[in-house]
Amino acid sequence: MLSVIVPALNEAENIAASLQALAPLRARGVEIVVVDGGSTDNTVEIARPLADQVVSAPRGRARQMNTGAAQARGDLLLFLHADCRLPAAADGVIVDGLNRARKTWGRFDVTLTGAHQLLRVVGAMMNLRSRLTGVATGDQGIFVTRSLFEAAGRYPDIALMEDIALTQKLKAFGRPLALRHRIVASGRRWEKHGVWRTIFLMWRLRFQYWLGADPNTLAERYVIHKL
């Protein structure tokens, strides 16, 4: 059984469309779990009739996704950001791909949407970097068997770079299945804060993380950028 875990925080404007896009999967038996991190809008009320479970967790994607995984019933977990849309028949694509490749985790390619043409380049570079390094980001829809997720120690409880940290641990058990089927992810945060500015910020933060910087300090710098 596949469980899709969607962390959310103040997503009232988008959560209905996100969950409605998952309705065909839900009709085929896929479990949808929304994990709210303390929204102050009506995210929870909107999500409740469109998901199998809506649970609460302390704010922070790592904590929210670990809570969702603990509550989910599936033996295959897919972590999906609230502003991302899966490709058609994603459930079958994942299961068939893992079985064919004899792998236990993977991710999709991603396309970033938005008016700025550079977003297409950003998405292409994310996909290329992931293929070269075997590391994935949350926008790419990380999927993993429950047994491997537990063996890898779940998401580390850090404020930023939790997706990179998890996939680095998963790599110890084998490289990911890199599906060319594409998730469509919103470029809203890139455009809101400036595409070039966000590109340089994320490069700098990832480089500092690679050098061993404290993720909590990096998260503070990221928040300042958003302000």
191: in domain: no
Residue 37 to residues 11, 17, 110, 131, 184, Cα–Cα distance (Å): 10, 19, 25, 31, 23
Give me the pLDDT at residue 194, please: 77
Find the CATH number of the domain harbouring 86.
3.90.550.10
205: in domain: no
Domain span including residue 74: 2-186
Q: What's this model's pTM, rounded to 2 decimal places?
A: 0.90
Give me the pLDDT at residue 203, please: 77
Q: For residue 36, what are the β-bridge partners?
A: 8, 56
209: in domain: no
224: in domain: no
End-to-end CA distance of the chain: 41
Vertex 179: Cα angle to 175 and 180 (nearest 5) = 135
Digit-coded pLDDT (tens) for 22-32:
999 999 999 99
Digit-coded pLDDT (tens) for 139-184:
999 999 999 999 999 999 998 889 999 999 999 999 999 999 999 9
Digit-coded pLDDT (tens) for 89-147:
999 999 999 999 999 999 999 999 887 888 888 899 999 999 999 999 999 999 999 99
- Is the pLDDT at 224 greater than 60? The verdict is no
161: in domain: yes
- Is the pLDDT at 225 greater than 60? The verdict is no
Give me the pLDDT at residue 210, please: 77
**Is residue 165 within 8 Å of residue 156, measured between CB atoms?**
yes
212: in domain: no
26: in domain: yes
214: in domain: no
Give me the pLDDT at residue 216, please: 74
**Is residue 41 within 8 Å of residue 71, measured between CB atoms?**
no
If one counts the domains in the chain, the total is: 1
The whole-angstrom separation of Cα 200 and Cα 98 is 34
Strands 2-8 and 31-36: parallel
